[in-house]
Amino acid sequence: MAPVIPAIAFALILITGRRLPGIAPYLSIAAIVASFAVWIILFVTFLDDGAGTRSIEWFTVGGFEFTWGTTVDEVSLVMLGVVSFVAIGIQIYSLEYLHEEPRLWWYFALQSLFAAAMMTLVLADNLLLLYLGWELVGLGSYLLIGFWWERRSAAEAAKKAFITTRIGDVALLIGFVLLFRATGTFDIRDITQLAHAGSIDETQLKWALIFIFGGAAGKSAQIPLHVWLPDAMEGPTPVSALIHAATMVVAGVYLVVRLFPIYNMVPDALDLIAVIGLLTALLAGVMALAMTDLKRILAYSTISHLGFMMLAVGAGFPGVAMFHLLAHAFAKASLFLGAGSISHGTGETDIREMGGLWRKMPFTTVAFWIGALSLAGLPLLAGFFSKDEILLAVHTGRLNDGFLVVTFVAVAFSVLYTGRMLYRVFLGQLSSSNEDAHEPGIRMWAPVGVFALLAAGLGATAFEWSHAYMGFVSWVTDSEEGFHINTAITGVSVVIVVVGLFLTWLIYIQRSISATAIRLRLGFVAIAAERKFYFDEVYQWAINQVVLPTARLTAFIDRAWVNDIGVDGPGKTTRWGGGVLRYIQTGMVYNYALGMVIGAVVLGVIWWSV
């Protein structure tokens, strides 16, 4: 039910949108609120009845039956709750943020489309339906990034996002087909059972899972497929908050968590996930430190946190990944919406042009700080607990301690970029161009506030409240492991937070350490980070120097060689031959008579000589 309601809203808005643009936002919001209500019902039913699935036949071909079915369990419920709740806030926020937009109805149509697709993805009980949702959220993302398609950069970014994730999607599809080939079904539950029964060939299973992770890496912007996400910030800011921070980009993590019982059987695949995740967390953290655009900093921060979630899965703790997903979703939503409020109030997104904004926008400042510090891991905020669990997972899980050290480094970078961002934007001198900055209206600040509160308070769910609820992580994965704290690790992470925030305070507020000097000292590393480690350059080079020339060459061969020589060639030869022969047939009697005479003479000579 939950995905159907926004789908209907999408159809309705498409029909009515151009004539009655005014009702579109309300249709969309009503649909998403209804979906949230469905979630509440599902949740309550779930508490009574436990997990359940239901499905109907879609089509049958060649003996394969394809179904549309849903599954309700802890993991899908958490995701569905996040998706519908964040979407409500975002849509209300958009009402004010985009109120001058002439194509507002189209925006809300896409919001409904996205919500429907995302919920389909979340609830799907089989891989094919999941793939359907997966591609449709990609479509929603494409259209929303390109919402201002008159801007060349927006159209470019939309295309880049779609094609980059598409590369992952093909890997994903190959992985799904491999699994299907091995088991004869797309049903996640059946595949899991068959895998555990050992009826899937090991090598095949391994490659299937690696391919599937390729798809997850594309959607969740893992290195080296992360390049689309920063560019995706060309879309309206609420879209960045919803799709490119809280919901769609975590679909990859969600998929890996859903399939974790299978992944758990293949250590190689988990190692790959852990390595890629950690690498992403680290490099994206470094890049975030080098960016100057507020939204891009947040984008790289998102990539980094997605890396942390993957790392947790790779360490063997999907529940921890889900917990971080939850904490990150609300924190990042409040951050992006806060950034939206800032650009709404100042018309500015470059942090070098900002400063002292707390004087003008105190409320946004508080909300933004809560979200940012939660993600940086300030004790007692939600991010502190989830980050702690990740560190603990890396420590106690299947990975060696080298991972733990690098994870601490990645965490340190996340503290550094958070400090830099907070101080540059909100503290210090009020920049002269921001004199008339102002707080937004209630439709904008209310969602920001709610998300910030959740980012602050959700940490409470981590604890073991009763025997029935032994902390979020054990609840979501149905395990017996309760919540606990490792003093050493927690100690180190708290020290990192405090030192990091102090260090950035010295650099950006006290200015007792010069940022420029550090940058110069770092030399090449700093430049490489500012140039985003040349990923874009390499890809652009590959497209310009390999793909397009190949295409040009093939097109040329197709015309010049296959067509002009191979096809037109025989035609022209025939015509030329005909043209030559034509001179013989002059149509004049005396020419023919001459020919006959010559022929007769020749024949006579031959006859006579023989």
Partner 1 sequence: MFEGWLSIVVFLPAAAALVIALFLRNDSHIRWFAIGATVLNLVLIVITYVDYDRSLGGVQMVDRYADWIPVEGLRAEYLLGIDGLSAPLVLLTGLLTAVAAFASWRITLRVREYFIWLLVLSTSVLGVFLALDFLLFFIFWEIELIPMFMLISIWGSGRNRYSAMKFVIFTLGGSAFMLIGILALFLSSGVDTFAMVSIPSEGIKGIPDLIAGKDLLIPAGVIWFFLFTAFAVKMPLWPFHSWLPDAHTDAPTAVSIMLAGVLLKMGGYGLLRISVGMFQETKGFQVQDVAWLLATLAVISIIYGAIVTLRQKDLKRLVAFSSVSHMGFVVLGVSSIVGVGGTVTDAGLNGAALQMVTHGTITGLMFLTVGLVYDRAHTRYIPDLGGLALRWPLITVSMVIAGLASLGLPGLSGFVAEITVFLGTYEVWPWLTAIAAFGVVLAAGYVLWMMQRTFFGPRNERFQDIKDANFVDMIPVVALVISIVAIGVFPKIVTEVFKVGISELVRI
Say whether residue 149 binds partner 1 (CB under 8 A): yes
Position among 132, 446, 453, 494 found at the interface with partner 1 (CB under 8 A)? 132
Amino acid letter, 358: W
Q: Residue 331 and residue 246: Cα distance in Å, rounded?
A: 9
Distance spanning both ends of the chain, measured CA to CA: 102
Q: Residue 69 in 3-state DSSP?
A: strand
* CB-based contact 311:394 (threshold 8 Å): yes
- Does residue 8 belong to the site contacting partner 1 (CB under 8 A)? no
Span from 177-185, 259-267, 311-319, 577-585 in contact with partner 1 (CB under 8 A): 177-185
User: What is the contact mask toward partner 1 in residues 393 to 432, using x (rule: CB under 8 A)?
Assistant: ----------------------------------------
Q: Is residue 566 a contact point for partner 1 (CB under 8 A)?
A: yes
155 binds partner 1 (CB under 8 A): yes
Does 601 contact partner 1 by CB under 8 A? no
Q: 111: closest CA among 80, 131, 139?
A: 139
Contact 345, 360 (CB under 8 A): yes
Which among 125, 2, 119 is positioned nearest to 53, based on CA atoms?
Answer: 125
Residue 215 and residue 255 in contact, taking contact as beta carbons nearer than 8 Å: yes
Residue 539, interface with partner 1 (CB under 8 A)? Answer: no
Out of 563, 573, 586, 591, point to the residue binding partner 1 (CB under 8 A): 563
Q: Least distance from C-beta 481 to partner 1, angstroms?
A: 37
Q: For residue 125, give the 3-state DSSP assignment.
A: coil
Binding residue (CB under 8 A) for partner 1 from 78, 136, 241, 313: 136
Cβ atoms of 490 and 389 closer than 8 Å: no
Element (H, E) at 92: helix 74-97
State the Rg of the chain over Cα.
Answer: 31
Per the DSSP assignment, residues forming a β-bridge with 105 are none
506 or 555: CB nearest partner 1: 555
Minimum CB separation of residue 166 from partner 1 in Å reads 4
From 76-84, 153-161, 450-458, 459-467, give the range in contact with partner 1 by CB under 8 A: 153-161
- Which residues make Cβ contacts (< 8 Å) with residue 169, sequence separation at least 6? 131, 134, 135, 138, 215, 218, 219
- Per-residue contact string for residues 494-533; x = within reach of partner 1 by CB under 8 A: ----------------------------------------
- Cα–Cα nearest to 330, from 485, 423, 174, 447: 447
Is residue 146 near partner 1 by the rule CB under 8 A? yes
> Binder to partner 1 among 562, 596, 598, 602 (CB under 8 A)?
562
Q: Any bridge partners for residue 55, and if so which?
A: 69
Q: Is 173 in the site for partner 1 (CB under 8 A)?
A: yes
Distance CA 207, CA 204 (A): 5
Degrees (nearest 5) of the Cα angle 257, 399, 199?
Answer: 50
Position among 19, 49, 62, 467 found at the interface with partner 1 (CB under 8 A): 62
State the DSSP code for 373.
H
As measured in angstroms, the least distance from the Cβ of 330 to partner 1 is 30
Give the shortest CB-554-to-partner 1 separation in angstroms: 5
Count other Cβ atoms within 10 Å, centred on residue 530. Answer: 14
Residue type, 543: I
Query: What character string, x for contact with partner 1 (CB under 8 A) and - otherwise, covers 102-131?
Result: --------------------------x--x
Interface with partner 1 (CB under 8 A), residue from 37, 51, 55, 166: 166
3-class state of residue 355 by DSSP: coil
DSSP state of 124: B
Of positions 40, 50, 52, 64, contacts partner 1 by CB under 8 A: 64
Taking the C-alpha atoms of residue 25 and residue 13, their distance in angstroms, rounded to an integer, is 9
CA–CA gap between residue 527 and residue 534 (Å, rounded):
10
CB of 598 to partner 1, least distance (A): 37
The yes or no reply on residue 15 touching partner 1 (CB under 8 A) is: no
Query: Which region among 178-186, 275-283, 439-447, 449-457 touches partner 1 (by CB under 8 A)?
Result: 178-186
Contact 143, 154 (CB under 8 A): no
Residue nearer to partner 1 on the CB measure, 58 or 535: 58
Task: Find the binder of partner 1 among 547, 600, 601, 602 (CB under 8 A).
Answer: 547
Determine, following the binding rule CB under 8 A, whether residue 58 of this chain makes contact with partner 1.
Answer: yes
60: contact with partner 1 by CB under 8 A: yes
Q: Is 87 in the site for partner 1 (CB under 8 A)?
A: no
Which residues have CB under 8 Å from 562's CB, separation 6+?
A: none
Considering the rule CB under 8 A, would residue 152 count as an interface residue with partner 1?
Answer: yes
Picking from 118, 362, 324, the residue whose alpha carbon sits closest to that of residue 219 is 118
Does the footprint of partner 1 cover residue 61 (CB under 8 A)? yes
Cα separation of 115 and 68, whole Å? 18
Q: Is 180 in the site for partner 1 (CB under 8 A)?
A: yes
Least distance from C-beta 217 to partner 1, angstroms? Answer: 15
Stretch that binds partner 1, among 161-169, 292-300, 330-338, 414-422 (CB under 8 A): 161-169
Cβ at position 179, least distance to partner 1 in Å: 11
The DSSP letter of residue 50 is: -
Residues that bind partner 1 (CB under 8 A): 58-64, 128, 131-132, 134-136, 139, 142, 146, 149-152, 155-156, 158-159, 162-163, 166-167, 170, 173-174, 177-178, 180-181, 547-548, 550-552, 554-555, 558, 562-563, 566-567, 571
